[in-house]
Amino acid sequence: MAFFRKTHSDTEVVEGIRGAPAEKRFFENTLYEKYSYLIQEGTWKHKLSRDECSMVYSDSVLTVIDHIQNERFKGGSSIKTYLYQIFSNKCVDLLRKNSTNKQQVLQGDTLDDYLNILPDDSRGVIEMLIARYDMDLLRKRLFDLGDKCRRIIEAWSEGYMDHEIASDMDYLSAAVVKTTRLRCLEKLRELYGKGK
């Protein structure tokens, strides 16, 4: 027996995302799932990893949702076209960022280069201090993210699956948790990059 899903029009999706919180989550999830095939297309077209494309896709969906809520999406094109353009641009941005980071790594000395010239006992002490500093910095960055992001990242890092987090934190689905988690991880990366 075949199961059929109702396909929602762009107008229904836009109105749903601008609607009540329960309806909003449903339509956000619908939008995410409807065009998730772009992740596979991104891996093929842009030669990015599946994880990278998944993160870019989630960020793109969140951008579209934000544009719909703030009425920046005017409906001049279909949601699919709008999302695809944002997704493609973000993939290209990531490719450029990866390329720039590789160039910087190739040009500079690493901490390991300096640690390797130290005696073993000094190296151990320095590595311990670095690890302690890294944990303190991580705690601070997680606090800076806010309670929702911190709780999702902590639960995920403890091995909880997205569907378990969705149930515990009252999200509509695992897809919404994944999108939120990926956005939170991106914010965490940005906090580390800015050196706050």
CATH number for the domain harbouring residue 22: 1.10.1740
Please give the pLDDT value at position 111. Answer: 52
- Pair 144, 182 in one domain: yes
Clarify whether residues 64 and 154 are in a common domain. no
- Are 1 and 90 found together in one domain? yes
DSSP class of 169: T
Q: What is the C-alpha separation between 174 and 179, in angstroms, rounded?
A: 9
**In 3-state terms, what secondary structure has residue 113?**
helix
Domain count, the chain: 2
Q: What is the pLDDT of residue 139?
A: 78
Instruction: Indicate the Cα dihedral angle 67, 68, 70, 71, nearest 10°.
Output: 110
Q: How many CB atoms lie within 10 A of CB 57?
A: 26
Q: Which residues of the chain have pLDDT under 70?
A: 1-6, 100-133, 194-196
pLDDT value for 171: 83
The b-or-e profile of 143-152 (16+ CB within 10 A means b, else e) is: eebeeebbbb
- Which one of 107, 135, 157 terminates a domain? 107
Residue in this structure with the two tokens 């579209």, named with its chain if needed:
64
The whole-number pLDDT of residue 157 equals 82
Cα gap 189→137, rounded to integer Å: 12
Question: Within this chain, do residues 89 and 11 fall inside the same structural domain, yes or no?
Answer: yes
pLDDT for res 130: 63
Q: Give me the domain span that covers residue 195.
A: 109-196
Asked if 91 and 131 sit in the same domain, the reply is no
- Are residues 85 and 141 located together in one domain of the fold? no
Task: Give every CB contact of residue 113 below 8 A, 6+ residues apart in sequence.
Answer: none
Quickly count: other Cβ atoms within 10 Å of residue 14's Cβ. Answer: 19
Last residue of one domain, picked from the residues 107, 139, 168 = 107
Q: Please tell me whether residues 101 and 115 are part of one structural domain.
A: no
Same domain for 85 and 118, yes or no, is no
Q: What is the pLDDT of residue 50?
A: 87
Whether the CB-CB separation of 156 and 10 falls below 8 Å is answered with no
Which of residues 69, 92, 107 is at a domain's end? 107
